[in-house]
Amino acid sequence: MDTPNKIKKLYNKYSIAVWAYLCFTLIGIVVWIIRDVRYFFLFNGIGSSELITRIIVIRQPKYRQLMRRIIQIFVGSMLLFMLGLGFGVDFQFEHIFFDFQAGIVTGALIHGIIARIVIPFVFGNACCSRACWDGMFFEAMNSKTRCKKPAKRNPWIAWGYMALLIAMTFFVTRYFTNPAGDENELLRRNWIIGQNIFIVVFGFILTFVWGSRAYCRMLCPYLTISSLLYRFSIFKITPLKSSECSGCGACTKACPMLIDVREAVQRKEKISNPQCILCERCVSACPKNVLKISYKKAE
């Protein structure tokens, strides 16, 4: 094989790993310039972990889900336990508005811009399956058996919930105490614990009513934002060998976001559902290796 072809083949094989590394490192450099060098180490660390685990998965595809879970637990724990409870940085959506009312900018806005506006142009909603601290717990709520008739996402409910959260921050600041204030360190930590327990418990209960990953599919404001940009994502779940699909439906059954993957494969289309979180469960479930995260056209 000649050299340009070899390079092309290597790029095809490792493109996600390289893009992930470059993307996170670049974000790290930008946030380092804006804030401080710790952000460079944080994002470079995430990019390096993604690079290493991707290379392992290319060689050993059976570890795909294990590697993703390791990344998810590593990043999720760092955001929730180390930066959240350790340093008092609250990354939840509503904290962007608490910060705004306190006249400061902290991790919530930086996280929101990076994970929900910048990364979606390259990797869609992948932060949901790899970097969300609540997603770490929601993995246990992927089952569809708890609810016989899962609800479909309703944009009115999703945007209404977001508006309710924003209104709640103004209410709390007006009538109680803004947890974002510098002098409210203890309150902020308690708030982080309380709101995350609420989201996880509420999300778990909702799975009985609305089905798998109910909180994520129906309410989460972060997914509401990033799903608007999903269509621009370079990498998406793509059928690369549709003709080999046996129609077994294992991909659809494995999808925690209740997406009909088989139907897309049979239409020879990429997964264009804006709620896809790039968890690759459909990829792992397919016995024919039809699916892949890819920038290529569906075949």
Residue ranges binding ligand SF4 (CB under 6 A): 128, 132, 134-135, 138, 216, 220, 222-223, 237, 245-251, 254-255, 257, 259, 261-262, 265, 271, 276-282, 285-286, 288, 290-291
Closest distance of CB 177 from ligand SF4, Å: 26
Query: Smallest distance, Å, CB 212 to ligand SF4?
Result: 10
Burial letters 256-281, b for 16+ CB under 10 A, else e: bbbbebbebbeeeebbebbbbbbbbb
What is the nearest approach in angstroms of ligand SF4 to the Cβ of residue 53?
A: 16
Least distance (Å) from ligand SF4 to the CB of residue 72?
9
DSSP assigned state of 36 = -
Euclidean distance between CA atoms 122 and 186, whole angstroms: 37
How far apart, in whole angstroms, are the C-alpha atoms of residue 153 and residue 129?
18
Q: Which residue has the tokens 């690369």?
A: 240
Which residue's CB is nearer to ligand SF4, number 45 or number 249?
A: 249
Of 213, 180, 214, 4, give the one whose Cα is nearest residue 92.
180
Is the CB of 162 or the CB of 250 nearer to ligand SF4?
Answer: 250
Comparing CB distances to ligand SF4, the nearer of 36 and 263 is 263
Paired tokens of 160: 């209404």
CA distance 252 to 271: 11
158: left (phi over 0), alpha (psi -120 to 50) or beta: alpha
Task: Name 238's bridge partners.
Answer: 292
In contact, 90 and 198? CB cutoff 8 Å: no
Q: Hey, what amino acid is at 137?
A: F
Work out how close the CB of 174 gets to ligand SF4 at its nearest, in angstroms, rounded to a whole number: 27
Q: Which is nearer to ligand SF4, 40 or 79 (CB)?
A: 79
Which residue's CB is nearer to ligand SF4, number 5 or number 243? 243
